[in-house]
């Protein structure tokens, strides 16, 4: 899915899926952030993946903090990233800097 397709399709979304997608377009989001949008955020992420084809990836859980980071990918890169950019936000969250 191309980045321009993602933007166009977002206009059709309403409710929790649209809010989660909007949040992921801002950058990596923790499970805590997504739970504030929808208590069943994993179901909404599954819906975005299965019904709409979004590539949303989950990092391994930090067992000390309970944090998991979700990231939207498009065109083979993290959403909004430039080629070669490291995903330092997700690393920071997983190390406990939530």
Closest CA to 25 of 67, 66, 56, 53: 56
pLDDT at 35: 96
Give the sign of the dihedral formed by CA 11, CA 93, CA 2, CA 56. negative
Span 65-81, pLDDT tens digits: 889 999 999 877 776 65
Structural domain boundaries in the chain: 3-94
In what helix (H) or strand (E) does residue 22 lie, and over which residues does it extend? helix 15-25
Model confidence over 46-67: pLDDT tens digits? Answer: 999 998 899 999 987 888 888 9
Q: Supply the pTM of this predicted model.
A: 0.69
pLDDT tens-digit readout, 17-44: 999 999 999 999 999 999 999 999 999 9
């Amino acid at each position: 899915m191309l980045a321009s397709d993602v933007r166009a399709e977002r206009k059709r979304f309403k409710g929790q899926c649209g809010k989660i997608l909007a949040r992921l377009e801002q950058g990596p989001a923790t499970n805590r952030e997504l739970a504030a949008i929808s208590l069943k955020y994993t179901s909404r992420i599954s819906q975005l993946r299965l019904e709409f084809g979004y590539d949303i990836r989950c990092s391994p859980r930090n067992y000390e903090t309970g944090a998991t980071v979700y990231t939207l990918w498009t065109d083979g890169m993290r959403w909004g990233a430039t080629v070669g950019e490291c995903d330092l936000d997700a690393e920071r969250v997983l190390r406990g800097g939530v």
